[in-house]
């Protein structure tokens, strides 16, 4: 995201429409603009964005720690809908982005106040969920309202490394009620001042018209379909890794560290996929991501009977499946090159929504799949996690089949 608050950087634009608006706004602003990529304001913007992303998305990426705690402590122990809390939270954050981008295009004057409103909603959701006594209350408060506030505050990465460790320590020492209240206070204290520095470099532009015709474009439809399928399975390992670690005899901290390993590898995977997107057709890194994630599920998780083997899976799956999101920039460039005057941020936003759709569906689906597999197999395949492993591997495999669409000239 660039410092104007909504547009993707020039790599993702695919046409000159956004740069035309940018030049108009710059001319209106005169010669008072700070440098785009250097200077105090740019570094403060970067630091503020880092804090906001770490705290907002970090909590969603750390839900596996909460999943493990909720499933083993009252009043949520043995509940059948705990996974839905986490998938709802991250799913709505993704799903709400295109609506959010459209509202910013239509009402650019709201950019200044909306992040603060979102912060209040987000922190209030944490505090309110600390009083929850049922899973349904957690779904509404920690799932829906937290994610709505998160959409307003941000537009992933290191938060998935730091937050699981911090959340594990808070839960172990204070329990979930005071852990959530402490987290709400921490988020507010750190995010409120950070929001001040994450401000547009350019003045609010005139209202822009947005073109949604790309939604029925075959290129977008095919790539979005693979994206939705990938989202169906992507978050399942991150939700169940700590629980699976306990199932095979690992300690609570070992379970948390598998999640940290997964999130750390995802950061590296995004960097590698981003480099490939710059050098190859977008379907190439998509296919590599799918192939690696498929092997990680079927060849590693299904056979993981020790913590060390589970760590190997966490790293491999994070490296390949985690890098999938970095291909969205390539998809955006491809779609905008085929459809003139399409706002790149909307293409990117609807890709986020596609992952959100898959993510929300994966919550209840994973809960229904969790149970005795009936398979006469060793390790993961023969456990109650067997159906989850097969489902995750199958969705990873199917997400890469968009590669074959390149066989038809002009389609991709």
Q: Residue 283: its pLDDT value, please?
A: 92
The answer to whether residue 326 scores a pLDDT higher than 50 is: yes
How large a percentage of the chain has pLDDT more than 90?
A: 40
Q: What is the mean pLDDT of residues 64-71?
A: 89
- Burial string for 257-278 (b: 16+ CB within 10 Å, else e) reads bbbbbbbbbbbebbebbbebbe
Q: Residue 354: its pLDDT value, please?
A: 92
Structure tokens belonging to residue 247: 């199932």
Distance, in Å, from the CA atom of 37 to the CA atom of 386, rounded to the nearest integer, reads 49
Q: Residue 285: its pLDDT value, please?
A: 95
Q: Residue 372: its pLDDT value, please?
A: 64
pTM of the model: 0.80
Distance of CA 20 to the CA centre of its chain: 30
Of 61 and 181, which is predicted with more confidence? 181
**CA gyration radius for the chain?**
21
Lowest mean pLDDT of 43-57, 146-160, 284-298, 355-369, name the range: 146-160
Structure tokens belonging to residue 205: 């532009």
Residue 393: HSE in the Cβ half-sphere, 13 Å Cα cutoff: 20
The answer to whether residue 87 scores a pLDDT higher than 70 is: yes
Q: What are 79-83's contacts with CB under 8 Å, separation 24+?
A: 79/135, 80/135, 80/367, 81/135, 81/136, 81/139, 81/363, 81/364, 81/367, 82/135, 82/138, 82/367, 83/239, 83/240, 83/363, 83/366, 83/367, 83/370
Instruction: Report yes or no: 17 and 121 within 8 Å, Cβ to Cβ.
Output: no
SS3 assignment, position 223: helix
Average pLDDT, the chain: 83
The answer to whether residue 8 scores a pLDDT higher than 60 is: no
* pLDDT-based confidence at residue 19 (cuts at 50, 70, 90): very low
* Model confidence pLDDT, tens digit, residues 334-388: 998 887 678 888 899 999 999 999 889 988 898 888 876 555 566 788 888 999 9
The answer to whether residue 11 scores a pLDDT higher than 70 is: no
Distance, in Å, from the CA atom of 14 to the CA atom of 217, rounded to the nearest integer, reads 15
Q: Write down all domains in the chain, each with its CATH number in brackets.
A: 41-198 (1.20.1250), 210-412 (1.20.1250.20)
The answer to whether residue 404 scores a pLDDT higher than 70 is: yes
The answer to whether residue 98 scores a pLDDT higher than 80 is: yes
Query: What single string gives the DSSP state of each residue in 290-330?
Result: HHHHHHIIIIIGGG--SHHHHHHHHHHHHHHHGGGGGGHHH
Of 159 and 20, which is predicted with more confidence? 159
Instruction: Report yes or no: 165 and 226 within 8 Å, Cβ to Cβ.
Output: no
Residue with tokens 């043995």: 78
Instruction: Report yes or no: 271 and 377 within 8 Å, Cβ to Cβ.
Output: no
* Model confidence pLDDT, tens digit, residues 193-208: 888 887 766 665 555 6
Q: Residue 6: its pLDDT value, please?
A: 37
Lowest mean pLDDT of 56-60, 67-71, 300-304, name the range: 56-60
212 secondary structure, DSSP code = -
* pLDDT-based confidence at residue 268 (cuts at 50, 70, 90): very high
* Model confidence pLDDT, tens digit, residues 223-264: 999 999 999 999 999 889 999 999 999 988 999 999 999 999
Residue with tokens 């439809």: 221
The answer to whether residue 209 scores a pLDDT higher than 70 is: no
* Model confidence pLDDT, tens digit, residues 123-173: 999 999 999 999 999 999 998 988 888 776 654 556 677 888 899 999 999
* pLDDT-based confidence at residue 43 (cuts at 50, 70, 90): confident
């Amino acid at each position: 995201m660039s410092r104007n608050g909504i547009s993707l950087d020039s790599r993702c634009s695919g046409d000159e429409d956004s740069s035309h608006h940018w030049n108009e706004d710059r001319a209106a602003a005169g010669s008072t603009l700070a440098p785009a990529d250097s200077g105090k304001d740019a570094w403060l913007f970067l630091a503020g964005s880092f804090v906001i992303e770490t705290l907002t998305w970090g909590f969603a990426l750390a839900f596996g720690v909460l999943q493990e705690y909720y499933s083993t402590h009252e009043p949520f122990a043995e509940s059948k809908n705990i996974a839905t809390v986490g998938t709802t939270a991250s799913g709505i954050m993704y799903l709400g982005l295109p609506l959010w981008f459209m509202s910013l295009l239509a009402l650019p004057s709201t950019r200044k106040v909306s992040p603060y409103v979102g912060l209040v909603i987000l922190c209030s959701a944490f505090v309110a969920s600390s009083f929850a006594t049922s899973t349904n209350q957690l779904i509404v408060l920690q799932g829906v309202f937290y994610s709505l506030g998160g959409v307003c505050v941000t537009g992933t990465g290191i938060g998935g490394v730091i937050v699981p460790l911090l959340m594990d320590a808070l839960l172990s020492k204070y329990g979930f009620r005071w852990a959530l209240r402490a987290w709400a206070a921490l988020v507010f204290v750190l995010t409120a001042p950070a929001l001040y520095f994450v401000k547009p470099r350019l003045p609010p532009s005139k209202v822009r018209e947005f073109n949604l015709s790309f939604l029925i474009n075959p290129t977008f439809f095919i790539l979005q379909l693979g994206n939705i399928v990938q989202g169906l399975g992507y978050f399942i390992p991150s939700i169940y890794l700590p629980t699976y670690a306990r199932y095979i005899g690992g300690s609570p901290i070992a379970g948390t560290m598998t999640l940290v390993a997964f999130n750390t590898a995802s950061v590296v995977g995004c960097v590698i996929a981003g480099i490939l997107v710059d050098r190859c057709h977008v379907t190439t890194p998509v296919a590599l991501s799918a192939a690696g994630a498929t092997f990680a599920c079927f060849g590693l998780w299904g056979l993981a009977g020790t913590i060390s083997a589970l760590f190997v899976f966490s790293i491999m799956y994070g490296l390949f499946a985690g890098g999938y999101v970095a291909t969205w920039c390539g998809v955006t460039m491809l779609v905008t090159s085929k459809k003139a005057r399409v706002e790149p941020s909307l293409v990117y936003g609807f890709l986020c929504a596609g992952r959100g759709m898959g993510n929300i569906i994966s919550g209840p689906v994973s809960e229904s799949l969790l149970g005795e597999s009936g398979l006469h197999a060793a390790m993961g395949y023969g456990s109650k996690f067997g159906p989850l492993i097969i489902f995750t591997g199958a969705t990873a495999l199917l997400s890469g089949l968009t590669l074959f669409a390149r066989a038809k000239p002009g389609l991709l």
